Amino acid sequence: MGGYKMRRAFFLLVILSVVSISGFSQFGTDIFVGYLWGLNPITTAGSITSVGGEDIMPQMVNAGFLIDYEIADGFSIGGGVGGAFQLAKPLAFESTITPDATVHSPFLVDGLIGISYFYPLQPVLLKVNVLGGVSFFNFEGFDNLGYLIKAKFGVGFDLGGMVLSIGAGYELRTYNLVTREEGNPDAKERGSITMHSIPIELGITVRF
């Protein structure tokens, strides 16, 4: 009897979800560009450190593009790509055991999934974003792979079919890295880095 009630409740939930989606859903794009202001120097762990032992502060420009789907009024889920480019000291690290073994990257590439919510607060909209996904430190192999998590809050302005928003939040990036010595692939060490920053971003959301 309990199983029957659970199946009936689940079936009802599915019906309500379909009705909700059919009533409110539409595709759209969410584009953002901004600046990542580092909260503290990049921290290292394991057998790697920054080249020369100098602190590296995250100071990056970033951008991203998501295709999303509005599953309820103001609430969307989606996926896309993004990236970040370091402006200050380069992202370069070396082995603490074999100094000639290094790993570096001119930019970071992200595969993103995210959710967003617009709440009407006349005459503006309150926007909440939560993003996460996999991030590539470079393309020298899957050894140098990490992830990011980002939460943003902002205000949006409805321009008729398009919402222009500005906001800030918190971003965490962490990567597992492998240093390699040129000409000696066996001379490599493993470690990790972590970045904490405040994203300050401008966004455009368009619904079709």
Domains in the chain: boundaries: 26-207
Report the predicted TM-score, pTM, of the whole model to 2 decimal places. 0.82
CA nearest neighbour of 118 among 109, 130, 128, 104: 128
Is the Cα torsion angle 71, 206, 86, 126 positive or negative in sign? negative
Residue 115 has which token pair?
Answer: 């959710």
> Which mean pLDDT values do the consecutive 10-residue runs of the chain (208 residues) have?
53 48 68 97 93 91 95 92 93 86 91 95 94 92 90 94 95 94 73 97 92
Predicted confidence at residue 140, as pLDDT, reads: 75
Predicted confidence at residue 101, as pLDDT, reads: 84
- Rounded to 5°, angle at Cα 78 from 171 and 124: 70
- Rounded to 5°, angle at Cα 30 from 25 and 31: 165
Alpha carbon distance 185, 65 (integer Å) = 36
Expressed in angstroms, the distance from the first to the final Cα of the chain is 45
Judge whether 139 and 105 are in contact, CB under 8 Å. Answer: no
Q: Kindly state the DSSP code that residue 16 receives in the 8-state scheme.
A: H
Predicted confidence at residue 106, as pLDDT, reads: 85
Report CA 198 to chain centroid distance, whole Å: 12
Predicted confidence at residue 168, as pLDDT, reads: 98
Alpha carbon distance 57, 17 (integer Å) = 45
CATH class, range 26-207:
mainly beta
